[in-house]
A and B are shown apart, each in its own frame.
Chain A
Amino acid sequence: MSRLVRAVAFACLAASSLAAAPAFAAEAASSAAAPAPAATPALIERGRAAFTHRCSMCHREGGTGTFILARRLGAEQSLIEKRTNLAPEYIRYVVRWGLVNMPRISRVELPDPDLEAVVAYLSAPRAGP
């Protein structure tokens, strides 16, 4: 299966289900660990800060990621901080391998500990900006 097909299949899965995709877990980023990290308030806050610093330029209101997600999945799925169906594996995968027009993000730009904090933030109940 090509990376493109794999990524699109993964995207569809995550958009339609709360479940992570075990078949793809092994292919996700090297830091992958299936569950979300233990979500302490400090970790969630670190994740919110990392999201603001590294992700929000595209993934908040008016950002290009928000716009393209709205085009692909509908407005209700476009702001990822309001999503409740993003599995930890899926977040890790998309960050490191990119998705459609989203570039891949390196471990220099978003180190593994910050990625795990972002995962905790986006996986926290009722996460919001």
Chain B
Amino acid sequence: MKLILPPGMSAAQFERALAAMARIVGNDWVLRTDADRETYLDQYAPGLEESHAPSAAIAPANVEQVQAVLRVANEHRLPLWPISRGKNFGYGGAAPRMPGTAMLDLGRMDRIIEVNEQLGYCIVEPGVGFFDLYEYLKERRIPLQMGIPGNGWGSVVGNALERGFSGMGDHSGNICGLELVLPTGELVRTGMGAMADGKAWPLFKHGFGPSWDQMIVQGNYAVVTKLCLWMRPADEASITIDVKLDKPEDLEWYVAATTPLRLRGVIDGLVRVTSYQASATVPTLRSEWYQGRDSIPEDVIGRIMQRFNVGWWNGPIRLQGYADVCEANLARVQSALARYSSKEFEVRRGPGDNQPGPSTYPLQMVNWYGGRGGHIGYSPVMPADPKLVQRQFERTRRRYQEFGLDYSGTFYIDGRAATNVNLILYSKDDAEQKERVRKLFLALIEDAKAEGYGEYRTHLSYMDDVAASYDFNGHALLKLNEKVKDTLDPNGILAPGRNGIWPQRYRAQRGRL
């Protein structure tokens, strides 16, 4: 792949910067061959991979090297894009927002520093994957549970910092203390870790004064080198209620039935409800069902539901905790569902630790169209109001049909808010289809904006569009974010453009792809 340099940087400056980096991390850990650069491209790129092409990668081994790398990056004005393990598939993978940015690959920093069974937390470095932490717990028989996202290949730290979530909720909400390297190289610990010998660093979120953990999440103000994450003690028992809803319009009553239960803690986790399509995209190819270039028609939907014995909407409700409490909560759930439906949903009882471990199995959904595939997700956050949720679904599905794409949606109900993850699958080698994907995505941003909903997380190529939709008082929040950015990162070397936050040095790059 052709080398793309950072904007405004000459080849000679770039060479001097990499030579200085090699003196810190060693020649072996400055990666700059064609193959090296390609390994950091967006595997699922919805547009041109080159739009987010890195120039090189630098892989430090420890915190001291991270500090030194950032100081040298300032000296040479080399922009860096930190990644933990680079598996942010659907949102850009490892790739940087601005072409020419060099990767700061933290994958070598992969220590599980502490797992505390008594108080329920772990302290990990960015290179620790979900498989690593899961194996660590199993090998040592540590009775703690971790939230695991659909793609278990990724980093525990990276996922939490992107606001990834699972049935156990928003993983960033479990962050309790960070170790940071600021863009200018200073080392900081947040919360109670700000004390030289702070014993409550992983235990109390706020410390004294402003709380910085959530300032760092989805931002570009610092490199996270350690993260303290709360974990859930193992449960005594679990009950799963296999909810299958026959019709698209059943979504409304289901939200009405479950939201109060989630709000009151009867359901102790996100209420997830997913459209029928999720059952087909992983184990089958689209061509087995339908050859048309329009959205899958109703009769095919019926065949998919029949073959996989699923409803139009599906969502197991999982209750977990003490066995007697689970039984009491089950009665509450069944009573709430019975108010709206005479259908009997299957109930399964099991041990508390019967959750599946990490997996990459869901990734094969990108093979839906055959050949090289990809996906992106459009995920606005909205009120968990039954009528609004139903309307959001219907409007979004009409948009998929308008652009000839297969609807695949999930709502995660968290009591007050609902996050609507709309999965868009495509073939990477079908330029016409990818153009329809682009138009659909922009239409969904506009639609949601008109309703007062905004996305919680997005792909690199749409970060500026989504940031622009947060427009109260002339984009006052974005201006504040960029004021902070310019103060902490005066040379704009850290992750320029991440989530729409551009440093002064590269602000002209906003919106460019």
Contacts and interface: CB of A to CB of B under 8 A. Distances in A.
B360 A29 contact: no
B85 to A, nearest CB: 7
A101 B366 contact: yes
B105 interface: yes
A111 B362 CA distance: 26
B89 to A, nearest CB: 8
A104 interface: yes
B367 interface: yes
Nearest to A30: B33
B341 interface: no
B108 A100 contact: no
B225 to A, nearest CB: 16
Interface in A45-61: 57-58
B373 interface: yes
Contacts, number: 79
Given A64-B363, A67-B364, A106 B107 contact: yes
B38 interface: yes
Contacts of B94: 106
Interface stretch (B39-47, B161-169, B173-181, B491-499): B39-47
Contact of A4 (B107, B360, B372): B372
Interface in A97-129: 97-98, 100-101, 103-109, 111
Contacts of A106: 31, 36, 39-40, 57, 86, 94, 105, 107
A6 interface: no
B12 to A, nearest CB: 23
Nearest to B373: A101
A96 B43 CA distance: 13
Given A57-B131, A98-B43, A108 B360 contact: no
A91 to B, nearest CB: 14
Given A64-B361, A103-B43, A108-B57, A29 B153 contact: no
A4 B38 CA distance: 13
Contact of B39 (A67, A101, A107): A107
Nearest to B94: A106
Contacts of B131: 57
A105 B131 CA distance: 17
B68 interface: no
Contacts of B108: 108
A95 B40 CA distance: 13
A101 B43 CA distance: 8
A98 B39 CA distance: 8
Interface centre among B35, B105, B107, B360 (most CB of A within 10 A): B35
A105 B261 CA distance: 44
A35 interface: no
A107 B361 CA distance: 24
Contact of B35 (A30, A57, A67): A30
B15 interface: no
Contacts of A4: 372, 429
A57 B151 CA distance: 11
Given A63-B360, A109-B107, A97 B93 contact: no
Nearest to B34: A30
A32 to B, nearest CB: 9
Given A97-B35, A103-B93, 5 more contacts: A29-B33, A63-B361, A101-B367, A105-B39, A109-B86
20 contacts: A30-B35, A30-B36, A57-B131, A57-B152, A57-B358, A58-B153, A58-B363, A62-B361, A63-B360, A64-B364, A68-B367, A100-B372, A101-B373, A104-B35, A104-B39, A106-B40, A106-B107, A108-B31, A108-B105, A109-B85
